Structure 1
Amino acid sequence: MKTDFRFSNLLGTVYSRGNLLFTPDGNSLLSPVGNRVTVFDLVNNKSHTLPFSHRRNIARLALNPRGNLLLSIDDDGHAILTNVPRRIVLYHFSLRGAVTALTFAPSGRHFAVAIGRQIEVWHTPSTPEAGTDGELEFAPFVRHRVYTGHFDVVQSFDWSSDSRFFLSASKDLTARIWSLDPEEAFVPTTLAGHKQAVRGAWFSKDQETIYTASKDGAVFQWKYLPPHDADPDDEDIEDDQMRWRIAKRHYFMQAPAHVSCAAYHAPSNLLVAGFSNGVFGIYEMPDFNAIHNLSISQTPISHLTISPTGAWLAFGSTATGQLLVWDWQSESHILKQSAHHDALNALVYSPSGSQIITTADDGKIKVWDTGSGFCSVTFTEHSSGVTAAQYAKRGHVLFTASLDGSVRAWDLLRYRNFRTFTAPSRLSFTSLAVDPAGEVVCAGSLDSFDIHIWSVQTGQLLDRLSGHEGPVSTLAFTPDGSSLVSGSWDKTVRIWSIFARTQTSEPIQLQADVLCVATRPDGKQIAVSTLDGAVTFWSVNDALQTQGVDGRRDASGGRKLTDRRTAANVAGTKSFNTLAYSADGSCVLAGGNSKFICLYEVTSGVLLKKFTVSVNLSIEGTQEFLNSRNLTAAGARDLIDMQGEASDLEDRIDKSLPGAQRGDAGERKTRPAVRVTGVAFSPTGRSFCAASTEGLLVYSLDSGVVFDPFDLDVDVTPASTLKTLNQGEYLKALAMAFRLNSPQLIKKVYEATPVSDIPLVVRDLPEVYLGRLMRFIAGQIEGGPHLEFGLKWSESIVVVWGRTLRDKRGEFEEEVRLLRRAVEGVGREVKRIGERELWEVEFLLAQKPMAQKGVAMQRRIDDVVARQIQGDEDVEDDDADDDEGEWMGLD
């Protein structure tokens, strides 16, 4: 099994805090998600996460006018410059302070950054494409100028179209005009008059007008005017009398709500404002005509931005983790996504691997599409935290267990809850298992020592298994459905034969409380994780231990802010809470309350690889070393409550509730701790996902490897491959393309192979290339236009290599599942299109007799006309007249 998994995508979280950005073409949206950046392709309905990560949460993003350079800055002022098309980090730099505003100049040569009340303008680093020698610079970040004058935090910038001047808006109730370089007769101008903090200041398209919007809902229109008492007909007004003066005042009239963010689109004269009550308004300037006001949530809108064309508006809400893209002209959603409000508890792959289902403490169940990265449906029927989820092996049925005392069954074709299972007494269910046939569902609780079994068909409680002397923490069925494995805090694992005449159980005694149990895909082995950090492997048939791993040192992660001991000496992170077998059963994946995910080889018990979940220092448990500078007599510096020192009144008011930190809807001021609550391998084995504090992390083997040569020779080059292809040697050309492993070259050979030669090429193909060919064909069927062509390749592979695929099932299992999923996807798509176009097809078929009669009628008319032209004017065709009357509807 390959172990070179790499981070490929982040699901489950779409927006956390910071500003949103549209790309220059307006087709994609960049959103900060914790310490990462996610790119949402709004046209192709896909998303991906850039591979780099900051050490803190991202505070500001900026994209240069060309759209190829992304500058991201975190809470500590650490900046990363990234090449967006290539997804490569170019430079790291520290601005030594918290950044509150950031934007590039329209020329792309400079960018302005606000560090508190100070403004700095920097030269944009050159890229290899723009450099003279094609190399990176040694000292790329060069500061151009420093501007001082504001008395409070600067909140936004706006550049003039020629990049000579820029506006700054600040909390000190003013906006200021600055010049990039010293200009003759230009003096930095202060625009004062607002009564509260200025949210934004913008130039109009012709730069003859300036608009400013403040927190209290006032919008001022500024023009370069003479004094109010001057004669308007006087042409001798001196230049020193001209000033930027308020020409008009407008008000949003949304009290008691205040303006939380605002944006202006100069080409279309649109002003958009977001308010603290979740309402946003669109206004046409300069007349301040209200186009419409809409409410998108009950929480404040944290940030909004306008696409370059002015047609789409993007909104982000930190409180709910919601991201919305709105087409204001058609009044329709382009994108509407929201994350879980609370910590993730469990995840499960669908049997096809195309969907991932997540559950969380907020009582919601979300279905995420692995191809696009978007949430397709959300279930909210549970009234409390959802603790476990299990997908039925047959059919599209999902089972979930919740703390509200219910187990629910969901139909994922019609998206409805069709069955609810409850116990005689109120219990909080924390574990769940479904037999492979989908006939019975079992659940365990921390409140009871019994295992409850229900019938899926009737919904009735069938039995309660007694035997454990402690709360049941985990349940799992063997793949063949013959046995149920349960783990408990009484330090035992029991194997139940619930379908036998006598429901017997085989107890297995362990040394500590059982946290998790996983069954191998062949059903002959189970893996058990206990509280002492050990992972043991047991034979199901003999109930004997075959292997064991001491994972205490591997499971120990980083240290928290309040820890006075090293991470290795903290007892809370020395065990694994979740286990998952790989598709072939050779490896097991383990995760717990630490920042590491461990991959073990089952036979030898060797640690193959450790994956770091997060390096975000804004989360507890990610620090490697203790910094004594952050420790004071009052405790850790980051944990000291500085809310009473905030400058705004609403920030100083403490509305949080005391008591428990989780479990209800009250607002909590806590730092989230890094932990992994669930891991799962995809059915194909090419990727795995982990439910963590930051979201749903997806690791894949297919993460952008562009050139991975295989069995390469000196004579194998792209030119020689194309030459071989032109000579008609398709098999040899295909083998050479696989050796180079160039997707474009493989696709060219694949599409150039004649249909009649496909069985011959597949028959003579060496077995070493079979897996690569199957993976490539699966990808072409799912994403390519030639469906029948791909199905012809698949048919030839099954006919020629069917016996080999069956005998070497373990070696080709991943490829077979990929190909099967692709073919089934084509079938579902054809069925869906057929059902949708059924009435149109029937209508077209009904038109065929009428069309045939019309053709015959036209032939008769042409014959009559031809004979009349020849002089046969006495010709009469009674039949033609009758038919014409019937065809025209005159009969």
Structure 2
Amino acid sequence: MTKLGEILALPPRVSDFWILNFTTFSKLATTKTRPHHSPTHLSPASLPFFHAFQPIMAEQLVLRGTLEGHTGWVTSLATSLENPNMLLSGSRDKTLIIWNLTRDDTSYGYPKRSLHGHSHIVSDCVISSDGAYALSSSWDKTLRLWELSTGQTTRRFVGHSKDVLSVSFSADNRQIVSGSRDGTIKLWNTLGDCKFTITDKGHTEWVSCVRFSPNPQNPVIVSAGWDKYVKVWELANCRIQTDHIGHTGYINTVTISPDGSLCASGGKDGTTMLWDLNESKHLYSLAAGDEIHALVFSPNRYWLCAATSSSIIIFDLEKKSKVDELKPEYMEVGKKSREPECVSLAWSADGQTLFAGYTDNKIRAWGVMSRA
């Protein structure tokens, strides 16, 4: 059992696909500046290892199963490379659930343990890279560190003056970052001590999302807020590195590619903007068509997935186009019934299953399948 304070400082586990391919893709995509920030067109032949993986157009996502256990919206999801049969979810019902995934035809999984402690909505959750601990943030103004083997809270993080909206682990699990409606970003150690509060050149409105880069060669924090800014911070001194400007509405979410080279942001304006974290510039934008609640990169394909108010959009980043759109079957029951919206996303570590949390309190598992 890993002791608190000795959380394994494992190196980032980045798939060979992203190491060999996406860094190359990112560099090639920024070799020229085109009108409207459009990158140079790339053919699959220009990506040396692309054909070692499944052709994008030959695949689709199919609903494989549903997980039921929450009594409120499923606001956040997290998976673990170390434990592929585990899924963690957070909800508006104030709880987190550790799921055991069976992937059976009759039942995709079952709740193994519920985590109780927060007194308000759970807004975000993440799992440490060793799979032993989880972090959660809540509208009760706190963070909690959980030992997953026991389901017990080992630390409470108190310091924000308003709802905490987002939380993230650093690549070595030794640092924690949080963002809040109080407009601040806080950096913590695993003992629950706030080591630094970012206010200088910070967000002027709610901090909706914060993420650590998984790349130890470029240790940065990316944040997004309702002030329409995406900000990149140097981890070493917590100073602003780049202000990314372009969104016309508040931003709900940011996500970073597994190799740390790219960042994607989305929110009210229905546009996904892609940013090069190495070159500190905008690459291009993708229209999702509706407000974006969550974004996630595939770990082993050129896909960016966007959860919007109407569906889940799968973008092919090489072709810069939609390749799939996911909507669960919906039967209207009564005048007050509403079509469920996806508000959280997470890929399985092997890239074969996309987990999606919905406003009907369910988690749906979409599996990658070859097209007939």
TM class, shorter-chain normalised?
Answer: 0.5 to 0.7
Paired position in structure 1 for 2:324: 547
Per-residue deviation at 1:540? 2.5
Equivalent residue runs for 1:338-353 within 5 Å: 339-353=117-131
Q: CA 1:416–1:523 in 2, change beyond 3 Å: closer, same or farther?
A: farther
Paired position in structure 1 for 2:59: none
CA distance in 1 between counterparts of 2:192 and 2:354 reads: 32
CA distance in 1 between counterparts of 2:147 and 2:352 reads: 27
Q: Secondary structure at the match of 1:584?
A: coil
CA distance in 1 between counterparts of 2:256 and 2:241 reads: 17
Equivalent residue runs for 1:637-676 within 5 Å: none
Partner amino acid for 2:234? S
Paired position in structure 2 for 1:182: none
The answer as to whether partners of 1:491 and 1:512 remain within 8 angstroms in 2 is yes
The answer as to whether partners of 1:385 and 1:402 remain within 8 angstroms in 2 is yes
**Are 1:469 and 2:239 matched, yes or no?**
no
Q: Which of 379, 392, 399 does residue 170 from structure 2 map onto? A: 392
Q: Which of 572, 576, 587 does residue 353 from structure 2 map onto? A: 587
Q: Which of 335, 341, 344 does residue 565 from structure 1 map onto? A: 335
The answer as to whether partners of 2:180 and 2:208 remain within 8 angstroms in 1 is yes
Equivalent residue runs for 1:286-301 within 5 Å: none
Per-residue deviation at 1:7? 8.3
Partner amino acid for 1:490? D
**Are 1:598 and 2:368 matched, yes or no?**
no
Per-residue deviation at 1:433? 2.1
The answer as to whether partners of 1:516 and 1:578 remain within 8 angstroms in 2 is yes
CA distance in 2 between counterparts of 1:605 and 1:528 reads: 21
Q: Secondary structure at the match of 1:602?
A: strand
Equivalent residue runs for 1:283-362 within 5 Å: 339-362=117-140
Partner amino acid for 2:342? F
Partner amino acid for 1:588? L
Q: Secondary structure at the match of 2:281?
A: coil
Equivalent residue runs for 1:467-506 within 5 Å: 467-500=246-279, 503-506=281-284
Per-residue deviation at 1:5? 9.0
CA deviation vs aligned residue, 1:268-320 (integer Å, no higher than 9, x gap): xxxxxxxxxxxxxxxxxxxxxxxxxxxxxxxxxxxxxxxxxxxxxxxxxxxxx
Paired position in structure 1 for 2:187: 409
CA deviation vs aligned residue, 1:377-428 (integer Å, no higher than 9, x gap): 111111111101112222422211111111112221x432222222446321
Q: Secondary structure at the match of 2:299?
A: coil
CA distance in 2 between counterparts of 1:604 and 1:347 reads: 31
CA distance in 1 between counterparts of 2:303 and 2:314 reads: 7
CA deviation vs aligned residue, 1:856-890 (integer Å, no higher than 9, x gap): xxxxxxxxxxxxxxxxxxxxxxxxxxxxxxxxxxx
Q: Which of 194, 211, 223 does residue 443 from structure 1 map onto? A: 223
Per-residue deviation at 1:9? 12
Equivalent residue runs for 1:678-827 within 5 Å: none
Q: CA 1:547–1:338 in 2, change beyond 3 Å: closer, same or farther?
A: closer
The answer as to whether partners of 2:264 and 2:295 remain within 8 angstroms in 1 is yes
Partner amino acid for 1:590? A
CA distance in 1 between counterparts of 2:162 and 2:357 reads: 25
Q: Secondary structure at the match of 1:526?
A: strand
Per-residue deviation at 1:566? 5.7
Q: Which of 377, 402, 405 does residue 155 from structure 2 map onto? A: 377
Equivalent residue runs for 1:861-880 within 5 Å: none
Per-residue deviation at 1:603? 4.0
Identity of aligned residues (%): 17
CA distance in 2 between counterparts of 1:429 and 1:442 reads: 11
Q: CA 1:603–1:6 in 2, change beyond 3 Å: closer, same or farther?
A: closer
The answer as to whether partners of 2:347 and 2:355 remain within 8 angstroms in 1 is yes
CA distance in 1 between counterparts of 2:148 and 2:207 reads: 28
CA deviation vs aligned residue, 1:195-250 (integer Å, no higher than 9, x gap): xxxxxxxxxxxxxxxxxxxxxxxxxxxxxxxxxxxxxxxxxxxxxxxxxxxxxxxx
Q: Secondary structure at the match of 1:504?
A: strand
CA distance in 2 between counterparts of 1:398 and 1:574 reads: 32
The answer as to whether partners of 2:265 and 2:273 remain within 8 angstroms in 1 is yes
Paired position in structure 2 for 1:368: 146
Paired position in structure 2 for 1:536: 313
Per-residue deviation at 1:498? 2.5
Q: CA 1:517–1:407 in 2, change beyond 3 Å: closer, same or farther?
A: same
The answer as to whether partners of 1:421 and 1:454 remain within 8 angstroms in 2 is no
Q: CA 1:454–1:477 in 2, change beyond 3 Å: closer, same or farther?
A: same
Partner amino acid for 2:272? V
CA distance in 2 between counterparts of 1:371 and 1:409 reads: 26
CA distance in 1 between counterparts of 2:69 and 2:341 reads: 27
TM-score normalised by L of structure 1: 0.28
CA deviation vs aligned residue, 1:809-834 (integer Å, no higher than 9, x gap): xxxxxxxxxxxxxxxxxxxxxxxxxx
CA distance in 2 between counterparts of 1:366 and 1:348 reads: 11
Rg larger in structure:
1
Equivalent residue runs for 1:136-215 within 5 Å: none
Equivalenced residues, count: 266
Q: CA 1:5–1:470 in 2, change beyond 3 Å: closer, same or farther?
A: closer
Q: CA 1:430–1:6 in 2, change beyond 3 Å: closer, same or farther?
A: closer
CA deviation vs aligned residue, 1:721-746 (integer Å, no higher than 9, x gap): xxxxxxxxxxxxxxxxxxxxxxxxxx
Paired position in structure 1 for 2:297: 519
Q: Secondary structure at the match of 2:355?
A: strand
Partner amino acid for 1:593? T
Paired position in structure 1 for 2:234: 455
The answer as to whether partners of 1:484 and 1:497 remain within 8 angstroms in 2 is yes
The answer as to whether partners of 1:405 and 1:426 remain within 8 angstroms in 2 is yes
Partner amino acid for 2:221? V
Identify, as 1 or 2, the structure richer in helix: 1
Paired position in structure 1 for 2:51: none
- Bigger relative contact order, structure 1 or 2, given CA contacts below 8 A and separation 6+? 2
Q: Which of 395, 420, 424 does residue 197 from structure 2 map onto? A: 420
CA distance in 2 between counterparts of 1:604 and 1:579 reads: 21
Per-residue deviation at 1:467? 1.1
The answer as to whether partners of 1:547 and 1:605 remain within 8 angstroms in 2 is no
CA distance in 2 between counterparts of 1:8 and 1:545 reads: 32
Per-residue deviation at 1:8? 10
Structure 2 unaligned spans of 5+: 1-63, 72-92, 100-114
Equivalent residue runs for 1:23-102 within 5 Å: none
Partner amino acid for 2:179? A
The answer as to whether partners of 1:576 and 1:592 remain within 8 angstroms in 2 is yes
Q: Secondary structure at the match of 2:130?
A: coil
Equivalent residue runs for 1:107-118 within 5 Å: none
CA deviation vs aligned residue, 1:95-136 (integer Å, no higher than 9, x gap): xxxxxxxxxxxxxxxxxxxxxxxxxxxxxxxxxxxxxxxxxx
Structure 1 unaligned spans of 5+: 11-34, 36-47, 50-336, 607-891
Partner amino acid for 1:389? V
Per-residue deviation at 1:4? 8.1
Q: CA 1:482–1:364 in 2, change beyond 3 Å: closer, same or farther?
A: same
Q: Secondary structure at the match of 1:371?
A: coil
Q: CA 1:396–1:424 in 2, change beyond 3 Å: closer, same or farther?
A: closer
Per-residue deviation at 1:592? 2.1
TM-score normalised by L of structure 2: 0.65
The answer as to whether partners of 2:303 and 2:317 remain within 8 angstroms in 1 is yes
Per-residue deviation at 1:599? 0.8
Q: CA 1:578–1:6 in 2, change beyond 3 Å: closer, same or farther?
A: closer
CA distance in 2 between counterparts of 1:515 and 1:8 reads: 22
